[in-house]
Amino acid sequence: MLLHIPNVLSPEQVAEFRRRLESASWTDGRETVGHLGTHAKRNEQLPESSPLRRELGETVLLALASNPLFFSAALPLKYLPPRFNRYTGGGTYGFHVDGAVMNLAQGEQLRSDLSCTLFLCGPEEYEGGELVIADTYGEHEVKLPAGDLILYPSSSLHQVRPVTRGARLASFFWVQSMVRDDGQRRMLWELDTAIGRLRQTGADDGAVLQLTGLYHNLLRQWADT
């Protein structure tokens, strides 16, 4: 499931991120990929040890913690701390699939169920740089307003097209969901969304309660915690 989540960061937060990233020290993005990825990836990233990366990443996670749409769709259990990248001057990342298992601190590991890209530049600020996600329905081009996030399965084949003008700044990270299966997550999200709409339209309280119970019983059956 591909899902556009708007306004994760406010315009003021985006402006502050941009101000601080302008003076940041960037490193070669190939430092964080395996052997195969080095042939496809041409961008810059904040170093893994960067205090700025940690600080801005914590701000992103705090914003997501209060975003009900993100929680309903992702059902997050663990996060790989957000990273930040910059594409400019033809920078690109060819088609690839994200690693299935990623290392967290102190030997803990994360299964990458969902990939997230949080855009920090408006689409009018650069040319190229589309995130292209391939699935059984074809290729989907994503280029969102600053502060908006795209959520998609980590199993998807995807790429970032070359940036031919300007600079593309973004945060990216991965989520291990409480529900491993993408199809089950989608059904839970659709059920949760329908329940919310029924509540808003004053539907029968008994029916809403029954559907709410069904949602939680399915989540209880499918969730790994």
Fold of domain 3-177: Jelly Rolls (2.60.120)
Q: What is the pLDDT of residues 38-69, one digit of tens each?
A: 678 999 999 999 999 999 999 999 999 999 99
What pLDDT, on a 0 to 100 scale, did the predictor assign at position 40? Answer: 83
CB burial of 75-98 (b: ≥16 within 10 Å; e: otherwise) equals bbbbbbebbbbbbbeebbbeebeb
Q: What is the band of 35 on the pLDDT scale with cuts at 50, 70, 90?
A: low
Mean pLDDT along residues 26-45? 80
The phi-psi region of residue 70 (left if phi > 0; otherwise alpha if psi is between -120 and 50; otherwise beta) is alpha
Q: What is the pLDDT of residues 158-195, one digit of tens each?
A: 999 999 999 999 999 999 999 999 999 999 999 999 99
What pLDDT, on a 0 to 100 scale, did the predictor assign at position 44? Answer: 97
Residue spans of the domains in the chain: they are 3-177, 182-222
Alpha-carbon radius of gyration of the chain:
18
Q: What is the pLDDT of residues 95-150, one digit of tens each?
A: 999 999 999 988 899 999 999 999 999 999 999 999 999 998 899 999 999 999 99
Q: Is the pLDDT of residue 36 over 60?
A: no
What pLDDT, on a 0 to 100 scale, did the predictor assign at position 30? Answer: 80
What pLDDT, on a 0 to 100 scale, did the predictor assign at position 38? Answer: 67
Q: Is the pLDDT of residue 33 over 70?
A: no
Q: Is 0.75 topped by the overall pTM? A: yes
**Alpha-carbon gap, residue 110 to 146, rounded angstroms:** 28
Q: What is the band of 34 on the pLDDT scale with cuts at 50, 70, 90?
A: low
What pLDDT, on a 0 to 100 scale, did the predictor assign at position 31? Answer: 75
3-state secondary structure of 140: strand
What pLDDT, on a 0 to 100 scale, did the predictor assign at position 106? Answer: 80
What is each CA distance from 44 to 23, 90, 133, 201, in whole angstroms?
Answer: 14, 12, 21, 48
Cα(first)–Cα(last) distance of the chain, in Å?
22
What pLDDT, on a 0 to 100 scale, did the predictor assign at position 180? Answer: 97
What pLDDT, on a 0 to 100 scale, did the predictor assign at position 37? Answer: 58
Let me know if the fold of 3-177 is the same as that of 182-222.
no
What pLDDT, on a 0 to 100 scale, did the predictor assign at position 104? Answer: 92
Q: Is the pLDDT of residue 225 over 90?
A: no
What top-level class would CATH report for the domain 182-222? few secondary structures
